[in-house]
Amino acid sequence: MKKKMHDHIRTIEAILFMYGREISFTRIADLIGEPEDDVKAHVKKMQEDYELRNAGLRIMITNNIVQMVTHPDVSEVIESITKKEIEGPLTPVSMEVLSIIAYRGPIGKMDIEAIRGVNCSFTLRNLLRRGLIERVDNEAHKRSQSYHVTMDFLRILGVQSVQDLPEFIELSTDKRIDAVLYNEYSNEEEKL
């Protein structure tokens, strides 16, 4: 029983980290196939463990929503890092994610991560803060959001639309990317 609880807590922790923003207990329960009350108990245990260890992260719970956040004591360091990310030049990772969104948007976070092969929560947050991308409701999956580039992004590049980007038609319909995304969807459909 204790091992099973530890496994669920570990899974929930990974979900909170991957999401990088708030998520409902209901959604977590759906994702791990456990009752919502059990999820709440696991999150509460995780929250207590983080506080007991005085960890650099905290679990914030508001109503039926939970989010992994940084500890207030490290806010100056996090603020400094964030400020450098926002004000400094775009990193190669940021450029890559921004390119994926520009050529494939609107596109969901999971699809971006499928293309890149790694988590991109931090990069997406920075691009959002810079005003280069924005979230939009995902029509295909009502419970998720997609990203697309903003008018500011287009203005900075001096183009009227994403179709004016270099090699837009070739890159926006690249079959190798379609294969990555298609395989990702096929694997999800097989699980259902």
Cα 180 from chain centroid (whole Å): 18
Whole-number pLDDT of residue 189? 44
Question: Token digits for 43?
Answer: 């999150």
Sheet containing strand 145-149, strands side by side: 107-108, 145-149, 133-137
Question: Which H or E run includes 136?
Answer: strand 133-137
Contact status, residue 98 vs residue 149, Cβ threshold 8 Å = yes
25 three-class SS: helix
More confident residue, 122 or 88: 122
> Model confidence over 35-80: pLDDT tens digits?
999 999 999 999 999 999 999 999 999 889 999 988 888 888 877 8
Provide the β-strand partners of residue 146.
108, 136
Report the alpha-carbon distance of residue 188 to residue 5 in Å, rounded: 26
33: pLDDT strictly greater than 80: yes
Q: By CB neighbour count within 10 A (0-12 exposed, 13-18 middle, 19+ buried), where does 146 fall?
A: buried
pLDDT of residue 191: 43
Structure-model confidence comparison of residues 19 and 9, the more confident one: 9
pLDDT digits (tens, 9 = 90+) for 89-144: 888 899 899 999 998 888 888 889 988 888 888 899 889 988 899 988 766 666 67
